[in-house]
Amino acid sequence: MRRLVNPELALGFLVATVLWIGVLGWQASYAPPDSEKRQCEEAATKTGHKTEECKSLWERTTTDPVAFFTFILAISTGGLWLATIGLYRAGERQIAVAKESADAAQRAALTGERALIVVERAFIMISDMGVNTIGQYGTIIDYRLNVNIANSGKTPAKNYTCIANLVVFDGDMPAGFRFPDRTHQDLPEKGTTIGPQARTYFQIDFFVQDAIDVFEGRKKAFVYGWLEYDDIFPDSPRHRTEFCLWIEVYADPRHSIQVVYGKPPPILTVRAYNRYNSYDDDCVYRPGQTPIAEEGELPPLTQPLVIQPPPGFQQPPPFAPMGAQFQHGAPPTDDAE
């Protein structure tokens, strides 16, 4: 709302009014009565003194041009000082308002820049998972988890690296678990690039022995790790996403589920565990600072089953293109009739 009255002008008017009231009151209180004034003039005439001394200060000031000019000059000087003080205070307030406006504009610019980066920057996260059943000679030996990674941002993620660890505990995850990596030997010197709205994945082999132990309630299995990457914005810190997935087995993993119609239900799936799922500043570790497990800190990895071929098993012939001829038995000799 616009102000109709200038506060500095109102203050100056108020001070001047008070000053003039004081001057007039002082003159009225110290002005001599008429009888005293006549006696003073008669005495001055008899003694040869000037009658000006019998006048009040206000009369002498208003009747003497030099005194009146000096009085006006004093009033003007006082008013000038008051105006100078008022202008100084007004200038200080204007400077404060201008500084506040500049700070607000800077905050708005920073907020807009952060909002742009948040909306446009790369953001790497786990999207979904698929499971491939691997068998050998008719026996299931492995459930290969294909964990899909998506860049949900509108700009590329650069220098992307990832490590995933499978652990199978004899019971719940230990309290105070550090989530260390088994090794850093597989880390590339330079990561890859994931385009905007693009995907990649990592694989984990969950062998059937561990799946049976989880299904029968003897053990619990987890997949945990981290994703690290850079965005394209300058001076932006390296980003990190931590994840921990709990593997649940719903059916006997030694047998494939047979269905008459429709898609078979999954034998196993994963869901987020309540620890070690965060990104950037909320992560447990900073980028590049994940520890390596000490000896005995993690349970050893299960080795895959080795299945011997059954008696009389014959390896099927390799695939041949259409029109190829197959020959069974010994090749003919040159002297064959």
Q: What is the pLDDT of residues 86-123, one digit of tens each?
A: 777 777 888 888 888 777 767 765 655 565 556 789 99
Nearest to 210 by CA among 304, 307, 308: 304
Of 165, 265, 146, 251, nearest to 208 by C-alpha is 251
What is the Cα–Cα distance from 114 to 104, expressed in whole angstroms? 15
Exposed/middle/buried for residue 172 (C-beta within 10 Å: 0-12, 13-18, 19+): exposed
Q: Quote the crossing angle between the two packed helices 65-120 and 7-30, to the nearest 10°.
A: 160
Q: Residue 138, Cβ neighbours under 10 Å: how many? A: 9
Tens-binned pLDDT, residue by residue, of the chain (337 aa): 445 555 555 555 556 665 655 555 555 555 556 666 666 666 656 666 555 556 565 566 666 666 666 767 777 777 777 777 877 777 788 888 888 877 776 776 565 556 555 678 999 999 988 999 999 888 999 999 999 999 999 999 999 999 999 999 998 999 999 999 999 987 887 889 999 999 999 999 999 999 999 999 999 999 999 999 999 988 899 999 999 999 999 999 998 777 666 676 788 999 999 889 999 999 999 999 999 999 999 999 999 998 888 887 776 666 555 554 444 444 555 554 4
* Residues 6+ positions from 281 with CB-CB distance below 8 Å: none
Start-end of H helices in the chain: 7-30, 34-47, 57-63, 65-120, 208-215
Task: Yes or no: say if 54 and 41 are a contact pair by the CB < 8 Å rule.
Answer: yes
What is the end-to-end Cα distance of the chain in Å, rounded? 117
As a whole number of angstroms, the distance between CA 145 and CA 234 comes to 36
Tokens of 173: 């995850």
Indicate the SS3 state at residue 228: strand
- Give 206's strand partners: 143
pTM here is: 0.62
Nearest CA-CA partner of 224 in 279, 272, 190: 272
